[in-house]
Copies of this chain bind each other. A is one copy, B any other.
């Protein structure tokens, strides 16, 4: 997605060896107009896949995912990272280690929102080591639902998340794919959509 790549080049900040900070439009401050376009691009890419639910993980996945859901006319479900006293029944869980937050958390979805007829599009803001996506996949498959694709806003192609997912047989659709950072400059490789 050309427009996303341009925005990353304009507003993204490279920190250290492998951190890209996009807090001015995606992970902290959110640009709704970019999210809307992201939603339309993902929806177009999966329009023949018969998707029934869009699933993401709190918190930075929510804004892009809800616009994907809107573009597809579907419900969006966001997996929770903390147990809440109102979550009482039929909870599906998986363990996810976050390299950026340096903690392992239990991610959960109420089982009632997914069933064996569902065809799921996973959406997340970043794909790096693939741990968050792997956790979501574990949960969705516990519900007997099928994963049609994993849609990623920004993929760090120099980390092994994509390989992990593709080796396991999942389709990955990334809007922007970062090959690496050369002298602090972002280098893209060809995106999926």
Partner of A30, one of B24, B29, B75, B88: B75
**Min CB–CB distance A84 → chain B (angstroms):** 6
A100 and B85 within 8 A (CB): yes
A21 CB within 8 Å of chain B = yes
A186–B128 Cα gap in the complex (Å)? 45
Q: Chain A 19-43, CB within 8 Å of chain B: the 1/0 string? A: 1010110011111110110000000
Give 6 A-B contacts (CB < 8 Å), ordered by A residue: A28-B78, A29-B75, A30-B69, A30-B77, A33-B70, A63-B66
A101 and B76 within 8 A (CB): no
Give A contacts to B, CB under 8 Å: 15, 19, 21, 23-24, 27-33, 35-36, 58-59, 62-63, 66-67, 69-70, 75-78, 80-88, 100-103, 109-110, 113
Main secondary structure of the interface of A (DSSP, over half): mixed
A63, closest chain B residue (CB): B66
Top 3 closest pairs, chain A to chain B, by CB: A58-B59, A32-B70, A62-B62
A21–B110 Cα gap in the complex (Å)? 12
B78 and A102 within 8 A (CB): no
